[in-house]
Amino acid sequence: MGPSDDATVSGHCAAGFEGVRAAFVRNFRVHGEVGAAVTVTVGGRTVVDLWGGHADAARTRRWEHDTLVNVYSTSKGMTALCAHLLVDRGELDLDAPVARYWPEFAQAGKAELPVRWLLSHRAGVIAPREPVAERYAHDWDHVCAALAAAPPWWEPGTAQGYHAVTFGYLVGEVVRRISGVSLGAFLRREIAGPLGARVFIGTPAEEHARCAEMVGQLDEARIAERFPGIPQPPFRSLADHPLAVVMLALTYIPTGDVNTAAYRSAEIPAGNAHASAHGLATVYGALAGGRLVGPATLEAMREPQSLPHEPDLAIDALAPPGTERRWGLGFMLNHQRQAGPNPRAFGHGGAGGSFAFADPENGLSYAYAMNKYGSGATGDADPRNTALIAATYEALGQHRPRPSGHAPR
């Protein structure tokens, strides 16, 4: 029985959502999916929960309902949510200087830099000034000290540029300074644990056997192949090369092989959450249903922080021509309708294809996770994902369950 056979798909779809299953099966047949899962909730009810294929490249382990997989930057949505819980509780002021919570961050002209700019990719702290040695790559304190000492690469607030790796350390250290625990521990204690959601940043060793193997991954070789001729770091300024910002953002803090125990155990909150699709959809479902933060915080999370048509110093190089990215406070906004027809939907995608989002107006959450590295630079452009979202909203239009009373209308 091959990996593209319909029989490898398990789980269920509610009546009216059979088209999502058809799209999921088609991903195996047409796009060579190795292993994947998709979950959709509407009004607090799980209407799609499917998984199939294999958790390893050799196709010896079946993908199960509790399989975890590295979701790259889909992690950023979970990291941002941790910060917003503190905002909702009155413990974090997004307009206060980062240095109020993390005094060492005041170095190198950053004394007045507000927390808001960390979440909206406007801080200019896309990398330390010198590449981090590989032996320190998973050393939280070492990396945070390097970022605290680093001058911004552009004047903070004047431009946006995707903080591909540093986003997690910057936001995560603020969360740690306020809460007294690491970002991963806070996520588990305050969000994932109470919801019973299988989402980890810093995956416990006892969960490693349930982790899928990524088939293909984002690494320096892939970057060099995509952008031939980029000089090797270190760079001294963004003027060193037109694509210097990409190399700074992606390589100055090496993350290592994503299929190792060291990587899975580390906390890299911008990109190494290990999650099931069901776990991600559970978290976003609780968010869409008003169970994690109040209405004012929910609205603030998805307020645009970018100017219309503002270039992104990193995304413009990484994404296909014509891609425009508008940021909320830690979340990708849906102005280009990557997450369905509601422009107010918001979430985050990850390199290779994973994607998760909330649509509060429809009381909906969606999550897709897979282990075959695909074409999506930030997840939502991958054709596997696009087909699943289209089928979800087609079903919602034909067979719309009544949203829960918690969903803002």
Q: Where are the beta strands (DSSP E) in 33-177?
A: 35-42, 45-53, 69-70
pLDDT value at 61 more than 90: yes
pLDDT value, residue 220: 58
pLDDT value at 354 more than 90: yes
Q: Which of 235-244, 297-306, 376-385, 399-408 has the lowest mean pLDDT?
A: 399-408
Question: Which region among 55-64, 213-222, 289-298 has the lowest average model confidence (pLDDT)?
Answer: 213-222
Indicate the helix (H) or strand (E) that contains 360.
none
Average pLDDT over residues 272-296: 98
Question: With pLDDT > 90 as the criterion, what percentage of the chain qualifies?
Answer: 77
Helix (H, G, I), strand (E, B) or coil at 215: strand
For residue 287, give the DSSP letter: H
- CA dist 392 → 196, 333, 368, 377, 395 (Å): 24, 19, 12, 22, 5
pLDDT at 326: 87
Task: Give the pLDDT confidence score for residue 388 in this predicted structure.
Answer: 96
Task: Using the predicted structure, report yes or no on whether residue 406 has a pLDDT greater than 60.
Answer: no
Distance (Å, whole) CA 119 – CA 389: 26
| Structure confidence at residue 247 (pLDDT) | 85
pLDDT-derived band at 382, boundaries 50, 70, 90? confident
Q: Is the peptide bond before 242 cis (omega within 30 degrees of 0)?
A: no
* pLDDT reported for residue 408: 32
In this prediction, residues 18-24 reach a mean pLDDT of 97
Tokens (6 digits) for 283 = 């978290």
User: CA 322, 328, 330 angle in degrees (round to 5)?
Assistant: 105
What would the DSSP string read from start to end of 141-166? HHHHHHHHHPPPSS-TTS-B---TTH
The whole-number pLDDT of residue 361 equals 96
**What is residue 403's predicted lDDT score, i.e. its pLDDT?**
43
> For tokens 């990996």, what's the residue?
3
Average pLDDT value for residue range 318-332 = 82
Q: What is the model's pLDDT at position 8?
A: 83
State the pLDDT at residue 232.
72
Specify the residue for token string 């790559």.
137
Average pLDDT over residues 111-138: 96
Per the CB < 8 A criterion, the answer to whether 299 and 342 are in contact is: no
Q: What is the DSSP letter of 125?
A: -
The pLDDT of residue 381: 72
Amino acid 14: pLDDT:
97
Token pair of 294 as six digits: 């109040």
- The pLDDT score that the predictor gives to residue 139 is 97
Q: 352 in helix, strand or coil?
A: coil
Q: Which residue has the higher pLDDT, 230 or 90?
A: 90
**Would you list the DSSP string of 219-233?**
-HHHHHHHSTTPPPS
Q: What is the pLDDT of residues 386-405, one digit of tens each?
A: 999 999 999 998 444 444 43
Q: Model confidence over 329-347: pLDDT tens digits?
A: 999 999 888 899 999 999 9
Question: What class has domain 35-398?
Answer: alpha beta
pLDDT for the residue numbered 29:
95
Q: Which helix (H) or strand (E) covers residue 85, if one does? A: helix 75-88
The dihedrals phi and psi of 369, each to the nearest 5 degrees, come to -140, 145
**Which residues pair with residue 348 across a beta bridge?**
356
Q: Report the C-alpha gap between 289 and 61 in whole angstroms.
A: 35
Whole-angstrom CA distances from 188 to 196, 201, 203, 354 are 9, 8, 10, 21
Predicted confidence band of residue 223 (pLDDT cuts 50, 70, 90)? low
The pLDDT of residue 234 is: 82
d(CA 385, CA 376): 9
**Structure confidence at residue 2 (pLDDT):** 41
Band of residue 4 on the pLDDT scale cut at 50, 70, 90:
very low
Contact 248, 165 (CB under 8 A): no
**pLDDT (tens digit, 9 = 90+) per residue, 125-151?**
999 999 999 999 999 999 999 999 999
Dist. CA 384–CA 218, nearest whole Å:
18
Q: What is the mean pLDDT of the chain?
A: 90
Instruction: Give the count of beta carbons closer than 10 Å to the beta carbon of residue 57.
Output: 16
**Greater confidence, 190 or 6?**
190
Question: Which pLDDT score, from 0 to 100, does residue 227 have?
Answer: 66
